[in-house]
Chains A and B, each alone.
Chain A
Amino acid sequence: MREELSLVLALALGGAGAGRAETHVEAIGDPVRGAEIWVYCSGCHEIGPEAQASIGPPLTGLFGRRAATVAGFPYSRSMQRAGQDGLTWTFETLDAYLENPVVLVSGTRMSFPGLEDAGERADLLAFLRQYSDKPSNIPEAAPTARAGDPELSEATLALAGDPGWGEYLSSECTTCHQRDGSDQGIPSITLWPERKFVLAMHAYKQHLRPHPVMQMMAGRLSDEEIAALAAYFGALGL
């Protein structure tokens, strides 16, 4: 499958005489390495379906959670205030907190000096994120995906989509995403700006966004097909 896709890609680009698309993006991190780093945390925190409060609060479903909201857990005043002020755990806020906890929440009771290495933080966050995936996060990047967009070459971004092709391809989307834009359990994708649509689909394709159905659906779309879909949905009259 991978091979076929890159073949399609190479053929299409070769034919157009363009340079090879830069599809490499900064991955959020390696959850397997993250699991190794987790031993620094697991003395105080539990994670997983049965996780309970321990010395620290349970970290299941952490992404998207308002700070200091695990019922009954005795948070520091400082953390409570941060939660009241609106601190929510996303990739960015967790990254900052892990780098140096007291910089973000000065009076935190977490006695952890921080992880200096950005790569290690990303790995740990990739590990933590596995316990936070929510299908309803299509299509937003936050909170479980890194806020940044996948890096795509200008050539890929500039591809002019064929809306006729997009119309056929869209029939695969509308089994779940309603064309009229209503969303009940599955978000609307109608009338998205084309560029945002393209970035979101590539983010799924490269597994930067977590939803398994979308990773599978986007995973087999070529750059041209993604452009075609974006053109179709972007122009859909309601």
Chain B
Amino acid sequence: MSLNRRSFLGTGLALGAALSAPSALGQARPRVVIVGGGAGGATAARYIAKDSGGAIDVVLIEPGKTYYTCFFSNLYLGGFRDLASIAHDYGRLASQYGINVIHDLAVDIDREARSVALASGHALGYDRLIVSPGIDFVDGAVPGWDLTVQNRMPHAWKAGSQTQLLKAQIEAMREGGVFCMVAPPDPYRCPPGPYERISMVAHVLKERNPTAKILIVDPKEKFSKQALFEEGWGRHYPGMIERIGPDFGAANVEVRPDSMEVVIDGTPETVDVCNVIPAQKAGHIAGIAGLANDSGFCPIVPGTMQSRIDENIYILGDATIAGDMPKSAFSANSQAKVAAMQVRAALIGARAFPAKYSNTCWSLIDTGDGVKVGASYQAAEDKIAKVDGFVSQTGEDAALRKATFEESLGWYAGITADIFG
């Protein structure tokens, strides 16, 4: 990942000529390269391939052969899903949609030459590039924590082995132990995600280790669906969960992985399991390619998802500054459809319609107690702006909550089919 621009140019020059953008060479099929096969990237790849009938060469670059969805990974922690049920591969994107799936890592983007350098040393020319790399963590965001200690203090904010590890730690926790979450500051992937996770951890502990405690160290004043979560925690897990907010020093937190300590405003606490979710930024490649601004995320054109910095590049999902839209798989999927349409319009003259965006996030609080929040959005001049929205209410009856949970199962089946075919 540390390949710098100069070394890229070295490899790029060698291979660039052979693989440069086909349309630039006067070849028939224009090429779209997509970096990142997650909620945003895989959706865009599928929609472009599906709707262009072979007229566009679609190349998807993704290092992982199996994509574990972060969405529903909390349900895996809670014992409501097994790991296999949140694992997806790229087989159908290749076999049914003719997408060229390359399992490799993009290490640089030469925007002038319109070429992507891969870790394997190859370079790939493009006519349009779509970048959907998700998030990476801000260096030094939680003093004492970095990726070298992620096995002692897992983040599990990218799903897979980290999630498995965290689950094992929760289940092995000593009787009456303390689970601590260091929650992230805004903006971050999945606003209700940390609090759904707390609910799922509490669900496990209530059954296996009922005297255990949960501590949330949270630098934010408020959080998503707060009233719903707090009502649910009081009802299902009374006395188990304590949250320390910024007024009690939670904005000043440091961790000591060796001694399993969390230092809150100078006061150390020894904990048994520590889930550190650091502050976030766009996936590294966005920064390397110069597509992110000082916020660490990428500015986009609201109506098209084009980068404000390079009109040949579209950026999706968590990596973007998407105005009022939260960072969610639903959002990434919604944005991908706008970008896919725009790319088809640019390359093969397909019709483009005004962008419509939407999002709904379901969360599970305890068995059969599902809640949701959602909104619709449209492109305003300066940002993607909220049009209308709704949120579950406190005091809803059990039947409605159960139906909301069942609806989330339908959503998961629907969106994963929409992403991976």
Interface residues of chain A, those whose CB is within 8 Å of chain B, are 1, 48-49, 60-61, 131, 133-136, 164-165, 167-169, 171-172, 174-180, 182-186, 212-213, 215-217, 219-220
Contacts and interface: CB of A to CB of B under 8 A. Distances in A.
B360 interface: yes
B410 interface: yes
- Specify which of B47, B372, B374, B411 lies most central, judged by the most chain A CB atoms within 10 Å of its CB: B411
A185 B374 contact: no
Contacts of B356: 169, 172, 220
B374 A49 contact: no
21 contacts: A49-B396, A49-B398, A60-B397, A60-B399, A136-B403, A165-B353, A169-B356, A172-B337, A172-B356, A174-B418, A175-B334, A175-B415, A178-B413, A184-B409, A184-B413, A185-B411, A213-B360, A213-B374, A213-B390, A216-B375, A217-B358
Contact of B406 (A61, A136, A171, A219): A136
Given A134-B399, A134-B403, A212 B390 contact: yes
Contacts of A172: 334, 337, 356, 358
- Closest 9 pairs between A and B when the two form their complex, measured CB to CB: A185-B410, A186-B410, A212-B390, A171-B337, A185-B406, A185-B409, A49-B397, A176-B414, A135-B407
Contacts of A136: 403, 406-407
Interface in B311-348: 330, 333-334, 337, 341
Contacts of A186: 407, 410-411, 413-414
B389 interface: yes
Contacts of B333: 175
B395 interface: yes
B388 A216 contact: yes
Contacts of A131: 397
Contacts of B115: none
A210 B418 CA distance: 26
Is chain B's binding surface mostly helix, strand, loop or mixed? helix
Contacts of A60: 397, 399
Interface of B: 47, 51, 330, 333-334, 337, 341, 351, 353, 356, 358, 360, 372, 374-376, 378, 387-390, 395-400, 403-404, 406-411, 413-415, 417-418
A204 to B, nearest CB: 12
Nearest to A51: B397
B379 to A, nearest CB: 13
A171 B413 contact: no
A180 to B, nearest CB: 8
A127 to B, nearest CB: 15
B353 A168 contact: yes
Given A134-B399, A169-B356, A172-B356, A184 B410 contact: yes
B414 A175 contact: yes
B76 to A, nearest CB: 18
Nearest to A221: B356
Contacts of A168: 337, 341, 351, 353
B403 A135 contact: yes
Which of B360, B397, B400, B411 counts the most A-chain CB atoms under 10 A from its CB? Answer: B397
A213 B396 CA distance: 16
A220 B414 contact: no
Given A168-B341, A175-B334, A178-B413, A216 B390 contact: yes
Nearest to A173: B414
Nearest to B392: A212
A175 B395 CA distance: 28
Contacts of A216: 358, 374-376, 388-390
Contacts of B418: 171, 174-175
Contacts of B387: 1, 220
A223 to B, nearest CB: 15
Contacts of A179: 417
B332 to A, nearest CB: 11
Contacts of B390: 212-213, 215-216
B141 to A, nearest CB: 32
